[in-house]
Amino acid sequence: MAATRHRPLAVPAVRLRGGALGRWQRLNAEATIPHCIAQVESSGVLDNFRRIVGESDAAHRGFVFADSDLYKTIEAIAWETARSGERRHEAWLDDVIALVARVQEPDGYVHTWIQGVHPDKRFAEQEWTHEMYVAGHLIQAAVALARASGRTDLLDIARRFADLLDDLFGPGRQDAICGHPEIETALVELARFTGEERYLALAAKMIDLRGRGVLPAGAFGPQYFQDHVPVREATTAIGHAVRQLYLNAGVTDLLLEADAPGLRAAMDAQWASVHERKMYLTGAFGARHRDEAFGDDYELPSERAYAETCATVADIHWTWRMLLADGAAGPARYAETIEREVHNALAAAVDASGTRFFYANPLQQRPDRHSEENAPRQRTSWYSCACCPPNVARTVAQLGAYVASATDGALWIHQLADAEIDLPAPLGSGTVRVCTEYPVDGRVDIEVAGDVAAGAVLRVRVPSWSSASSLEAADGAHPREADGYATVPLAPGAHYRLELDLTPRFTRAHHRVDALRGALAVERGPLVYCVEQADLPSTLAVDDLVLLPADPVSGEDGTLRLRCAEAAEPDDLYRSGQPVAARGEHEVTAIPFATWGNRAPGAMRVWLPTP
């Protein structure tokens, strides 16, 4: 990574042992990944491949990009293999990779919707056919599998497709971009793994073609495809949220690897646009259902939030790359954003069984809201557009990758998770052990063992919301510095302790977020809380609660106790401008947003009105 200051650690080098993230990875391995394997069979994804080679007579099922569900599932298996060393799905991989190989055409092309339904549209309608998007997920799965286990059969397939793309659309040849960005970051990753610079050049060309009118505008306009202005001039996040964030991940990947004038400034501006004016409190993105898009600045309605799970996944990818690139916001800001996303929006997307999912993640649900196809009242086992479930699986399998990074002379801990971290060369050959039940508990113990390079230091992020802000050691306190990290020697036998203040706190939104005027949310550590109808008596409705200013009280079970009144308003839809009338007092249970919807469908809200 030529332009990076921070260097990522290999997935096997960070082992999440216990704690919230470690338990989630085990659930992912034991339930979510097997569920995805079963669903790509039952939903017809594998039959779509079989029918191309005469092994099934079923009609094509699913969207034009359904092949990507298979590739994301394979990527999840790859990262789980890298994490655990287990190869429990090898026989399945043998079968499905051999199937993809049979479907691949001699020139490298493979895309079952085109091959089996519309061969006349091959590379003819790039704004909708998702051919390069699907190829991107194929490439990412193939590289992950090769990195995880040395297995290269899928990589051979992916390289043939990438070579076809380069032959057709590389520098000096036809101009083409995909309506759904994703291929860009995959090509950069392929270049990293293979050393082939032409893949990097192809990614750079595709990024440079954005905003040049290569794609038809379509019903939603060119901004839907991030094709409205050149990338270097695009300083505001706009259009389809997932597409914008995947594109930004690819752009940042490119500037990590190559001299790319103007891209860093654009990405810094875009990151500020997304996270300072368009991010939900839970770390979700996308205010509009119609085109799955970002809204205007501060357009963040709670009950109509689209907040697609894939947008949070895409932003985790992008924000991590911005951390590695030493972007303008600083490593602590990027790491804290990832923490918010992982513990809230991403965690809420899957239920406690690991087999039911949300596609959209609103911050309020009214009691009478009807289910929509991609915004149901309760999680469902799969979707006709099933991009989110395998995206969750592949992200959770590699959560350890976001825990730490290295720079010259320093190991940085960005995520406070129960983990064992192998020191990368040249920092030594020892380990750093982190013991914690964070975010339920604020105590974080860190021990250093084994050989460590002389003069090496450990940099530990101390969250900005904690009033307790020092790393304690035998030689005294090491305070949080201006960049958000405390610095201590990386010395064999050293023991450090961080005691974070997890006192619940009220949060208010910027005054321009009209949907949230006069309302407060409650947070504890990195967790956003909500009130769910399941915790209220039948005589008290979530939508009638008025939050009183008394300090929330923490319960031993991870819940909070809030003091609320009940709105006592007349039935008139509109009336004279008087303050909200409220009556009585009630102790109300608030639960982590990540856990809502695990009991029964019903009303829920994060933001509560105040008197």
Q: How far apart are CA 183 and CA 247, in angstroms?
A: 9
Strand partners, 164: none
Task: Note the pLDDT of residue 259.
Answer: 84
Task: Identify whether 611 is preceded by a cis peptide bond (ω within 30 of 0).
Answer: no
List 75, 80, 182, 292, catalytic entry: 292
What CATH topology corresponds to 406-499? Maltose phosphorylase, domain 3 (2.60.420)
Q: CB count, 10 Å around CB of 599?
A: 14
Task: Note the pLDDT of residue 30.
Answer: 98
Q: Is 387 a catalytic residue?
A: yes
Tell me: the pLDDT tens digits for 247-273? 999 999 999 998 888 999 999 999 999
Residue corresponding to tokens 């286990």:
149
**pLDDT score of 152 more than 60:** yes
Q: Which two tokens stand for residue 222?
A: 């060119």
Tell me: the pLDDT tens digits for 51-108? 999 999 999 999 999 999 999 999 999 999 999 999 999 999 999 999 999 999 999 9
Q: Please name the residues in contact with 17: beta carbons below 8 A apart, sequence gap of 6 or more.
A: 418, 419, 420
Task: Note the pLDDT of residue 2.
Answer: 47
Which whole number is the average pLDDT over 336-340? 98
Tell me: the pLDDT tens digits for 514-559? 999 999 999 999 999 999 999 999 999 999 999 998 999 998 889 9
Which whole number is the average pLDDT over 30-37? 98
Q: Is 420 a catalytic residue?
A: no
List 36, 178, 310, 387, catalytic entry: 387
Task: Note the pLDDT of residue 5.
Answer: 86
Task: With both helix axes pointing from N to C terminus, report the angle between 45-52 and 90-103 in degrees, rounded to the nearest 10.
Answer: 40
**Looking at 443-581, which runs of residues are DSSP E strands?**
443-449, 457-461, 470-473, 476-479, 485-489, 495-499, 505-507, 519-524, 527-532, 545-547, 553-554, 560-567
